[in-house]
Amino acid sequence: MKRHRRAKIVATLGPASSDADTIRRLFEAGVDVFRLNFSHGSKDDHRARRDIIRSLEREADYPIAILQDLQGPKIRLGAVKDGKVALATGSTIRLVLDKTASDAGHLPLPHPEIFEAVMPGHNLLVDDGKVRLVVTGLTNDAIEARVAVGGVVSDRKGVNLPDTVLQLSPITEKDREDLAFGLDLGVDWVAFSFVQRPSDLIEAHQLVGGRAGVMAKIEKPSALTAIDDIITLADAVMVARGDLGVEIPAEDVPGAQKDLVRLCRLAAKPVIIATQMLESMIQTPTPTRAEASDVATAIYDGADAVMLSAESASGQFPVHAVETMDRIIRRTEQHRSYRPIIEALKPAIEAMPQHAVAAAAAEVADAIGASAVVAFTQNGTTAYRIARQRSPVPILGLTPHEQTARRLALLWGTYSIRSDEVSDYSQMVDQAVAQALAADYVKPGETLVVVAGVPFGQSGSTNNLRVVTV
């Protein structure tokens, strides 16, 4: 299954895409990673989808990654009086620590951690920011607020607090149960929602225990203030522009996206751009021109992957949405502006042998017109370092570990193959040539650049580069 593009596609499964035939068609249309959204669906639903994916993987003999996306803490109002209340701009409102409110002048907010952390001047955004409140005063069990932007507020509407760092773990009891279930299913990546600080990822790693890659979803302003440490601790990052776009001004989201992609590329960590990429295709068979430009922008930025949410989970045209995204990516990568932009964004390389060898492999492959770079890797690190260069030459990631092969399905420009361990140079060359020929990435007379670590089988020891003529 040779993809004729470098960036990857993540697609969410849901009611519109749960049967074997649709999942197969999504895969054939270009999906590299399937997302299981644990904010919706039952465990039985997710298990059934996992079974279909793994069956398809065996049949296609092609590694497919499964991403488990945990719901995270949801801050919501309680039940307001009469089910809804109209808040006039400039009026005052009182938020009370309760599940219900019997007074129209009160909004119930059953989250004690907010009352402990919020300060005067902080904003509370209700219903995706449609209503904005500004805190003016505090008591032990109430928050006084001015209505800066009015509107109608109804029961259980979500609340965002862009200025407040809550002493709240992003991993709820529901998440812990879902995580244990997902790890037993054998998911390859786990996305943790509403990460606020580096300690959240330390907790996530302790719970995952190395059984899957840990992905940080960036959707809180507090995460942006500690982003260097968060990227260091994460195995991958998702730019979740939905909640992030509520909590920071909309005009700041494009810049934040570019910064996050650049930082992840510098750190050799995969990054996904998510939310509303082809939103109109939930209901129509064609995207807007702005949506096509949005996908293309993520590709020009150098993102590893772009993601479909409701478009593939509950939309009317799930397969067509994937086909459309695939076409946009391929056309963007073929455009004459693509290579100059990608080259201009190339990160500086740390002065360490393993980084220098990986960068040199990409440079040599491009300079000599090699058919592929073959990376022998235990946990994917060598492939990550090569992919960071965004070379036009495809990468074959050879690994003895099935889980590593699946995780690499998310990585830019990389086709992963599960292969036998190698123990000497002769085996290394023979294995590289055999796998590249079998995958149709090279023909006799063409060249490969082969990268590995010596001693063989030792993770993180990228130190050997060979040029091989087939």
- Positions marked catalytic: 35, 76, 217, 275
Q: Please say whether the beta carbons of 278 and 295 come within 8 A.
A: yes
76 CB neighbour count, 10 Å cutoff = 15
Distances (CA, A) of 281 to 132, 155, 297, 325, 331: 30, 29, 18, 11, 19
Contacts of 56 (CB under 8 A, 6+ apart): 20, 23, 24, 27, 64
- Give me 386's structure tokens: 């090569």
Which stretches within 369-456 are classed as H helix? Answer: 381-387, 402-407, 425-438
Give the residue among 189, 177, 180 at the shortest CA–CA distance from 68.
189
Q: Where are the beta strands (DSSP E) in 208-291?
A: 213-218, 236-240, 271-274
Q: Classify residue 347 by its DSSP letter.
A: P
SS3 at position 444: coil
Q: Phi and psi for 463 in degrees, rounded to 5?
A: -150, 10
Burial 428-442 (b: 16+ CB within 10 A, else e): bbebbbebbeebebb
- Ramachandran quadrant class, 449 (left: phi over 0; alpha: psi -120 to 50; beta: rest): beta
